[in-house]
Amino acid sequence: MILNVLAVGDVVGESGLDCLERRLRSIKRHKDIHFTVVNGENASGVGILPRQAQAIFDAGADVITLGNHTWNRLQIADYLDENPYILRPANYTSRVPGRGWGVYEGPRGLRIGVLNLIGRCEMDCNFDNPFTAADHWVKNGGADVILVDFHAEATSEKGAMGWYLDGRVQAVWGTHTHVPTADAQILPKGTGFVTDLGMVGPARSVLGIRPQQAINRFLGGLPQRYEQADGPCKLNSVCFSIDTARGVCVAAERLDIEE
Ligand code: FE2
């Protein structure tokens, strides 16, 4: 069968959550989506609360992935232990709650593995090597189809991961930068790849926050608590169509909505 997987970029704040709630189900219906993964680490601005995770599930996500802001809202810690459908990066070094890999039941009993990883370029350094962490789960995870959310800053690190896993997983997408990239593609050995999905949040903003606050930071003004920008929202996502018999991605299509 052709398995249509929708990967949705970082949901930013309450307006991003509202946009997801308004738009996700109709995208899934129109594009015949079988499985949906949403990055939720900015649902709280930085971090995510249990009620926001629930709102993402209610909007239509099958699995939530996270990233560098996982622990900005520590209220999520127990929820990560209790709910196997929300993942934090698998390459955290040690004793943190939750899990970074899950296998979920898809159509026709298909075992869909989702791996959440975090990059090390321009990030905190306290992570295991995401490339060797990926090796472990790809080899030992016990899934028929493998999807990877690589939450990373550097386009080079994300590109390298796509090529590193080409032919061994069915899709690799980047998250974190909130800026959608125009390089959705199928790599030579059949892995669907995009450097960054983008985000779900205020369209007229700098990564979701008020432009004036970003400008102030770069002008060297006093630090401010970032506030979410007002105005219309956008939803950035990519649909990966996977031929499950051959284990390859056959289409990678950007699905972007601007309200
Ligand atoms: Fe992030």
184 has a pLDDT exceeding 80: yes
Please tell me the distance between residue 109's alpha carbon and the centre of ligand 1 in angstroms.
32
What's the pTM? 0.97
Please tell me the distance between residue 108's alpha carbon and the centre of ligand 1 in angstroms.
34
Q: At what angle do helices 155-165 and 130-140 cross, to 10 degrees?
A: 30
What pLDDT, on a 0 to 100 scale, did the predictor assign at position 56?
A: 98
Task: Determine the Cα–Cα distance for residues 126 and 202; give it in Å rounded to an integer.
Answer: 31
Please tell me the distance between residue 68's alpha carbon and the centre of ligand 1 in angstroms.
5
The fourth-level CATH superfamily of domain 2-258 is: Metallo-dependent phosphatases (3.60.21.10)
What pLDDT, on a 0 to 100 scale, did the predictor assign at position 225?
A: 84
What pLDDT, on a 0 to 100 scale, did the predictor assign at position 226?
A: 86
Per cent of the chain over pLDDT 90 is 93
Three-state SS string over the chain comes to CEEEEEEECEECHHHHHHHHHHHHHHHHHHCCCCEEEEECCCCCCCCCCHHHHHHHHHHCCCEEECCCCHHHCHHHHHHHHHCCCECCCCCECCCCCCCCEEEEECHHHCEEEEEEEECCCCCCCCECCHHHHHHHHHHHCCCCEEEEEEECCCHHHHHHHHHHHECCECEEEEECCCCCCCCCEECCCCCEEECCCCEEEECCCECCECHHHHHHHHHCCCCCCCCECCCCEEEEEEEEEEECCCCEEEEEEEEEEEC
Region of poorest pLDDT, from 61-70, 122-131, 249-258: 122-131
Dump pLDDT digits (tens) for 80-97.
Answer: 999 999 999 999 987 899
Dump pLDDT digits (tens) for 142-171.
Answer: 999 999 999 999 999 999 999 999 999 999
Active site members: 69
Task: Determine the Cα–Cα distance for residues 109 and 144; give it in Å rounded to an integer.
Answer: 10
Region 1-10 average pLDDT = 98
1 has a pLDDT exceeding 90: yes
Rg for the chain, CA atoms, rounded: 17
What pLDDT, on a 0 to 100 scale, did the predictor assign at position 124?
A: 78
125 has a pLDDT exceeding 80: no
Domain borders along the chain are: 2-258
Three-state SS string over 214-234 comes to HHHHHHCCCCCCCCECCCCEE
Please tell me the distance between residue 47's alpha carbon and the centre of ligand 1 in angstroms.
9
What pLDDT, on a 0 to 100 scale, did the predictor assign at position 126?
A: 82
What pLDDT, on a 0 to 100 scale, did the predictor assign at position 201?
A: 98
Dump pLDDT digits (tens) for 196-216.
Answer: 999 999 999 999 999 999 999
Confidence of residue 223 (pLDDT cuts 50, 70, 90): confident
